[in-house]
Structure 1
Amino acid sequence: MDSWRGWLKESYGKKLSKLHAWNAWIIVLLTVTGIILYIPSIRGDLGAFRVIMKQAHIVIGFVSILLIALYVPLIPKHWKQIRNKLSQRWNLIIVLGLLVGWSITGLILWQFRSLPPIWSNISLILHDLFTWIGIPYAVYHSISRSRWLKAMRSQEKKAAAAQASAELEKRIAAASGTEAEGKMAPQAFVEYLKKSPISRANFLRLIAGLVLVFGVGPAFYRWMKSVSDTGGDELEKLVGNDGNHMVPAPIALAESNPPIGGGGKGEFRIYTVTDIPSFSSENWQFVISGLVDKPVSWSWEELLKLPRKVQVSDFHCVTGWSVYSLTWEGIPLSELLKIAGVKSKARYAKMYSGDKVYTDCLSLEQARLEDVMVAVLMDGKPLPQQLGGPVRLVVPKMYAYKSVKWLQAIELIEEEHMGYWEVRGYDNDAWVPGKRLT
């Protein structure tokens, strides 16, 4: 309460100065935590720390919203104060727009489980867009308004004023010759031509802007291209660059080619906890073991000979994005369990990824759901390496961390197993809320 009273007693200028400084630090913290959370290659290394980092990012976001609320009463006076400074007004509009945009989309992403998936998908894209624009703008703003650059501009203005004064005195003193006619003396004219048409301060600002444009521009273009892709182009590219060597390629059923779902709608964000593994049909195998009547092992060719089915379902990631209307083709997990025979003691199915690190677990009731599938094709194409191929688990009604990529083994066990992300804070029962399912 005392701190709030102290804030109310602060002068307008001090409030504005403090809010500016606090907001700058908050943006730095949000940028650092956001980038760490975004980088796919370090997700696995972060482990449980990633969950803490995510919560920290949310808390810092709420602090940012609080700063906006504290600034709102000051807006009328601040706007009036800069009424003759068009560049500052535009800067204020841009900064406020970015902060409000980040806040609204951040709140939606925070509560994405309670909202329709279209909300979180759009918010995720907009949140990224604000970041692509906002961070370079903040960096440029910091450089262009830094103390040393302001000092440089001040020195240049003083030097220019002194030179102008000297030139004026020189012209007044000269009452005849070429100078009396309004012309410069020969050597003075040479010195004039040597002067740069742009000041050092403005040149440095220009360089900073160009570095940001050429440094961020290509990555921003690739991001825009991936966002605008409806899914087909991305899949074609991933299949074309696939690092797996699986022979023969699975031949799609009629319902898969063309896909009865019309093709996936949305963008996959590729996350892994290890380097993406590659596989060859020469030494690849798929096994079911543990509490089963008959442990079984299939080679690639043997697995492809098993009867497959086609289904259309959505794919939801726990980070908020979704891909809709994917056409999957594969073997129902329930059918594979029937082949192996499940012993009465078995209660859970533990899944092993071919990356030799990732595991997860389903109860037998979950594993026997009719839409839980061991998939080999997606939208009529062989599952590419980066999307979990050659074989991945598909559990449509659960978040994607349950759909184990590069699936190579299933072990029937009696006690529940906590998977890779579950021991790092994620829910073991990862059901997608009903309102998010279509």
Structure 2
Amino acid sequence: MKARWLIKIHHIHAILVGLLLLSGLSLFIQPVRTFFNEWKIPLVAIHTWIALFYIIIVLLSLKKAIKYTFKKPTLKKFNVHFILGLFLAWSLSGAIMYFQAHFPVPVRNTAVTIHDTVTWIAIPWLLIHSIGHTLKLEIPWPLWWKRHAKKPEWVQENRLQRRDFIKSLSLITIMIFIGGWLKWLTPMLHASNETNRRRGYFRIYNVTNDYPRYENNDWSLTIDGLVEEKKVLTIQQMRQLKWNTIIDDFHCVTGWSVKGVELTGVYIRDLFEAHDIKPKDKYITAYSGDGVYFDTFTLSQLVDEEAMLVFELDGAPLKKAQGYPCRLYHPTMYGYKSVKWIERLTITDERDYGYWQQNGDYDLDGYL
């Protein structure tokens, strides 16, 4: 009876791990992630719910699984311990990513790196394990490893005790964190003297698999809605205004951050003053040039809280995938409020939900 129960759990476990890997890879691979966005499928929420169900299944079956494998050959014990190691790394790093607002930037970035690394470790294991069971392939393991057979003397002499296991686990954990920390530090170590040194790296997220391309300075910003006079401002007019440079930390709601980013552009309050823009109401909707993405703000959030239109990042024009030639930036909000390829600001008398509030249950204000 116990064996049948464990077989069922094993199959459920395999299905859940497969779904986690598929949804996780879909989030990691930009075109696939964007495909789900275009169809308004909440992939992040799906991935999170699968993870929660997986954690519950593992915790419920943990005691019986360990008891069942206690007298089993070394191979089965190793398999269980290996899965538990992946489970712990996934769960802890995933929890930090989900509650990332409560952790400092180095911890967040390390958690993201660990989560990715564990996934890439799990993929070959899952393929080998699945193909081996499906085709009934026998890997030529030593008999003492896969069956109850006499172990070689060198194995018996170096038999691990509980304290050895704890030491090994601690060492592995330390090495994972060191690896994650070094990856987080890499962009700063490889920066040239002329480049703004920063920690972390950007991950590009779009909601469409294509993005607008502006050639020959054909970009313009329209300010319309409840204003005294509609304005259409060209890139040349933007260059005539006072540009400001700030150094700030860029934070994504998915857990990663980039420290010390140099952002250059025009404060929205300066733009409104210079062109005598007088809103007649207190809400603003910012529209992206991709024709899909938008987000909403109160007028005070953009005018009084030093929001800016950014044209340069780290002393160079924005890259196309980063929102060239212009994106919105608010210093105390998450990156999803930073509308890329911004083309229009519309003043309204009511505040609507933005793209991610409608499709991903994100916070309307998005404060850090």
Equivalent position of 1:426 in the other structure:
362
Instruction: Describe the shift of the 1:49–1:352 C-alpha distance in structure 2 as closer, same or farther (beyond 3 A).
Output: closer
In the alignment, the residues of structure 2 paired with residue 403 and residue 78 of structure 1 have an alpha-carbon distance, to the nearest angstrom, of 52
In the alignment, the residues of structure 2 paired with residue 97 and residue 411 of structure 1 have an alpha-carbon distance, to the nearest angstrom, of 51
In the alignment, the residues of structure 2 paired with residue 415 and residue 369 of structure 1 have an alpha-carbon distance, to the nearest angstrom, of 19
In the alignment, the residues of structure 2 paired with residue 42 and residue 146 of structure 1 have an alpha-carbon distance, to the nearest angstrom, of 28
Report the alpha carbon displacement of residue 145 of structure 1 after superposing the two structures with TM. 2.8
**Which structure 2 residues correspond to residues 33-432 of structure 1 after superposition, within 5 A?**
33-47=23-37, 52-74=42-64, 77-82=67-72, 85-149=73-137, 229-230=186-187, 262-274=196-208, 275-343=210-278, 345-424=280-359, 425-432=361-368
Equivalent position of 1:186 in the other structure:
none
In the alignment, the residues of structure 2 paired with residue 423 and residue 320 of structure 1 have an alpha-carbon distance, to the nearest angstrom, of 21
Equivalent position of 2:14 in the other structure:
24
Equivalent position of 2:166 in the other structure:
none
| % identity of equivalent residues | 31
TM-score (norm 1): 0.67
Equivalent position of 1:178 in the other structure:
none
Instruction: Describe the shift of the 1:52–1:374 C-alpha distance in structure 2 as closer, same or farther (beyond 3 A).
Output: closer
Q: Is the contact made by 1:226 and 1:267 (CA closer than 8 Å) also made in structure 2?
A: no
Q: Is the contact made by 1:258 and 1:379 (CA closer than 8 Å) also made in structure 2?
A: no
For residues 190-234 of structure 1, what are the alpha-carbon distances to aligned partners after superposition, in whole Å with 9 as ceiling and x for unaligned?
Answer: xxxxxxxxxxxxxxxxxxxxxxxxxxxxxxxxx999867426979
Report the alpha carbon displacement of residue 76 of structure 1 after superposing the two structures with TM. 5.2
Q: Is the contact made by 2:66 and 2:80 (CA closer than 8 Å) also made in structure 1?
A: no
Q: Is the contact made by 1:291 and 1:345 (CA closer than 8 Å) also made in structure 2?
A: yes
Give the aligned CA root-mean-square deviation in angstroms.
3.1
Instruction: Give the residue type in structure 1 aligned to 2:101.
Output: R
Q: Is the contact made by 1:230 and 1:267 (CA closer than 8 Å) also made in structure 2?
A: yes
Indicate the SS of the match to 2:284.
strand
1:14 equivalent among 4, 12, 15:
4
Q: Which moved more, 1:358-367 or 1:35-44?
A: 35-44
Q: Which moved more, 1:285-294 or 1:374-383?
A: 285-294
Q: Is the contact made by 2:296 and 2:353 (CA closer than 8 Å) also made in structure 1?
A: yes
Equivalent position of 1:170 in the other structure:
none
Structure (1 or 2) with the larger CA radius of gyration: 1
What stretches of structure 2 of length at least 5 have no aligned partner? Answer: 141-179
Q: Is the contact made by 1:281 and 1:300 (CA closer than 8 Å) also made in structure 2?
A: no
Q: Is the contact made by 1:376 and 1:389 (CA closer than 8 Å) also made in structure 2?
A: yes
In the alignment, the residues of structure 1 paired with residue 6 and residue 362 of structure 2 have an alpha-carbon distance, to the nearest angstrom, of 41
TM-score (norm 2): 0.78
Q: Provide the aligned length of Structure 1 versus Structure 2.
A: 327
Instruction: Describe the shift of the 1:78–1:115 C-alpha distance in structure 2 as closer, same or farther (beyond 3 A).
Output: same
Indicate the SS of the match to 1:230.
helix
For residues 358-404 of structure 1, what are the alpha-carbon distances to aligned partners after superposition, in whole Å with 9 as ceiling and x for unaligned?
Answer: 22221111011343111111111111111111111111211111111
Q: Is the contact made by 1:347 and 1:414 (CA closer than 8 Å) also made in structure 2?
A: yes
In the alignment, the residues of structure 2 paired with residue 373 and residue 143 of structure 1 have an alpha-carbon distance, to the nearest angstrom, of 53
For residues 119-139 of structure 1, what are the alpha-carbon distances to aligned partners after superposition, in whole Å with 9 as ceiling and x for unaligned?
Answer: 332211111111111022111
Instruction: Give the residue type in structure 2 aligned to 1:31.
Output: L
Indicate the SS of the match to 2:57.
helix
In the alignment, the residues of structure 2 paired with residue 294 and residue 378 of structure 1 have an alpha-carbon distance, to the nearest angstrom, of 31
Q: Is the contact made by 1:23 and 1:64 (CA closer than 8 Å) also made in structure 2?
A: yes
Q: Is the contact made by 1:309 and 1:330 (CA closer than 8 Å) also made in structure 2?
A: yes
